[in-house]
Chains A and B, each alone.
Chain A
Amino acid sequence: MICCVRTPHPSLVAAWLTAPSLRGRPLILGGFAHERASVTTASAEARAQGVVEGMSLNQAQQFAPDATFQPVDEEATARVRQSLLLTLHHFTPDVAAGEDPGCAFLRLDRLVLRWPDRSRLLAAIGRAIDAAIRVRPAIGVASSMFVSQVAAAHATTTAPLIVEKENTRAFLARYRIDVLPLDDDLREYLELLGIKTIGRLQAISRPAFRRQFGQKALDVYDLAIGDDRRRLRPWRPAVRIEESEPLEPPVDNTQALQFIARALAERVSASLLTQGLGTRAIRIKLDQESAPALKIEVRFAYPMTTAGELFDGIRPRLLRASIVAPLERITLRAGRLEAAYVRQPGLLIRRDGFKESIADAVARLQEEYGPSLVQRAELRSDAAPLPDHRILWKPA
């Protein structure tokens, strides 16, 4: 079963967290009332007065003259969204962010042993979100992402709405077709035919629907009968591993630079080890005193963790870097993080279980030997019949 957790728009939540006195009052986000901009989101009190998303702020002020107007705080909004997802991630790693910014999904199937009573689990989720972002969510539970999202949209903050798999069709049948992701043409067409509820849509057979509306519209039909084949794409909490060292006085000595890079590699390695991670790319940033910063990316065939391995990749690139001024700061950032499994050195088994993708391998070769080393050929049928014209060589 999939659980959809629905909260107000994260930018609204962020505004409430900054100024709790705004709760319960009409609040419109998108800019100040006199600005030429549109409404990003509005509180339920403002919506009750007729304000909708996308409306101009001037118009919104005419509908809700006593509302508070504010620009969206992007950073605070991102923090709220991260906080919501992180809270759910504590329950299960099977968490996905919804397209609607206030929505998040989590798969409940693997939580049965830990939480045999589903109502307690849903109550715990509600409490945890309330503690994290000071908002009680509406929760819908169903067999697919779409149905759970519809359920959450019609649930209240006090009573989750649970739709068992066998009741999915009947549950959806009562709603208007507006809950489906319809384009304008299809919506108009359906309404002209008098199909205004999902129940009426379900009454049509699948082949008949395809004949009438085409293959592309079948996705909508499948959603209407509760068949949502979208897969839950797990969200992973952001991990940033970066180590930096200011160089005072600025360094122009390669030996000293290597020494500092080695120390930074050890610090990056320690951070990776504590989190059980390996990195497939180290991004080096060299801030020069009177020249633009140099950015170098070192790629690895395997996820590397130890300082020695990291430095073996970093050292030759540092020696080849075209440094034109003394360096003020060096920064190492671990990118493309993966779980660091125990690697088998190849003595006992033939393979160590790691595989580099062909695209990564080609990129690594091109970094080492130049972009023209590995190429792809493309035939140009419209060109003159000369080899140089007929074949377009491109770096792979």
Chain B
Amino acid sequence: MPDRLQQAITVLQTRFGSAAPRPAAPPCPARPTGIPELDALTGIGGWPVGRLSLLAGLRGSGKRTLAQHSIAAASREGPVAYVDMPGRLDPEFLSHFDARLDHLLVVRPKSMKEAMASVRVLARAGVDLIAIDLPRTRSSGLDAELPHLLHRAAEAECTLLLIHDADAEDAIRYYASLILSFQRSAWVFRRDGDLEGLQVDAAVVKNRLAPPGQTARWIIPYPIP
């Protein structure tokens, strides 16, 4: 921003307070996703810190694999947590992404209340990234908890990722700062016929921090042990 424009804005802010002009999208720190294509797609270079990002898509669209890439990347930097409501997390698969399992806390709640309490407490305690894997069934109680959860996450500068198979509820769509929709466009096989990965089409459905509507296509390789 030019200095003269900044000076003018400062003068207006001094005179008119909150009525003065301010940036439409305030700068937000980002945590790298572990995949350069996805970093570019978000528009800010990764998952927004202190905010909620939603990964939506049908089963087999690659969103959980992507989330696990991000968990693995973040676990190399500091403590991370995975709230595994459907009970689908495979630590061995995660370890193939070079995740540090000693930095990973796996939360296995019996109810949404337990899940939300765990996320609040762990975010507050300084966990850098929390992935919340929601069950397919309608997640009752989540919409009421989300404002408190986001407040805690913003305070603690914790990145929240929400993984949802079905269409997300209105409350989640409203509170999420970034919504990415995934769709599998093809399976990728090796010459010997083994499955190598999947080709994913991703679209930014909502983005409060950068222009939405971006699309990208890339191949997510499955880790080969």
Contacts and interface: CB of A to CB of B under 8 A. Distances in A.
Contacts of A391: 90-92
A372 B121 contact: no
B107 A358 contact: no
B34 interface: no
A361 B121 contact: yes
B101 interface: yes
A379 B95 contact: yes
A374 B106 contact: yes
B212 interface: no
Contacts of B110: 369
Interface in A372-388: 372-379, 387
- Which of under 10, 10 to 19, 20 to 34, or 35 or more describes the interface residues of A? 20 to 34
B155 to A, nearest CB: 6
Given A301-B121, A387-B90, A391-B91, A378 B108 contact: no
B100 to A, nearest CB: 11
A47 interface: no
Interface string B95-119: 1000001101111111000100110
Contacts of B114: 369, 373
B48 interface: no
Interface in A301-353: 301, 346, 350-351
B104 A377 contact: yes
A112 B121 CA distance: 45
Interface stretch (B21-29, B124-132, B141-149): B124-132
Interface string A44-76: 000000000000000000000000000000000
B179 interface: no
- Which of under 10, 10 to 19, 20 to 34, or 35 or more describes the interface residues of B? 20 to 34
B79 interface: yes
A374 B105 contact: yes
Interface in A258-296: none
Contacts of A378: 101
B122 interface: yes
Contacts of A173: none
B101 A379 contact: yes
Of residues B79, B81, B91, B117, which shows the largest number of chain A Cβ atoms within 10 Å of its Cβ?
B91
A379 B91 contact: yes
Contacts of B81: 374
Contact of B122 (A350, A351, A355, A358): A358
A359 to B, nearest CB: 9
SS of A interface (majority): mixed
Interface in B72-99: 79, 81, 90-92, 95
Contacts of A390: 92
A183 B112 CA distance: 58
A219 B190 CA distance: 56
Contacts of A368: 117
A364 B121 contact: yes
Contacts of A375: 105-108
Contact of B104 (A364, A369, A376): A376
A387 B93 CA distance: 11
A376 B106 contact: yes
Nearest to A360: B125
A131 interface: no
Nearest to B121: A361
Contacts of A350: 154-155
Contacts of B127: 358
Contact of A374 (B102, B118, B154, B155): B118
Contacts of B121: 301, 356, 361, 364-365
A123 interface: no
A396 interface: yes
A362 interface: yes
Contacts of A301: 121, 124
A357 interface: yes
Of residues B95, B105, B107, B126, which shows the largest number of chain A Cβ atoms within 10 Å of its Cβ?
B105
B125 A357 contact: yes
Given A358-B125, A361-B122, A372-B108, A377 B91 contact: yes
Contacts of A373: 107-109, 114, 118
B189 to A, nearest CB: 23
B91 A351 contact: no
Nearest to A301: B124
A387 B81 CA distance: 20
A374 B90 CA distance: 15
Interface of B: 79, 81, 90-92, 95, 101-102, 104-110, 114, 117-118, 121-122, 124-127, 154-155
29 contacts: A301-B124, A350-B155, A355-B125, A356-B121, A356-B125, A361-B124, A361-B125, A362-B105, A362-B122, A362-B125, A364-B121, A365-B117, A365-B122, A369-B117, A369-B118, A372-B108, A373-B109, A373-B114, A374-B107, A375-B108, A376-B101, A376-B102, A377-B101, A377-B106, A379-B91, A379-B101, A390-B92, A391-B90, A391-B91
Interface of A: 301, 346, 350-351, 355-358, 360-362, 364-365, 368-369, 372-379, 387, 390-391, 393, 396
The 10 lowest CB-CB distance pairs between A and B, nearest first, are A361-B125, A377-B91, A358-B125, A361-B121, A375-B106, A356-B125, A369-B114, A374-B107, A396-B105, A391-B91
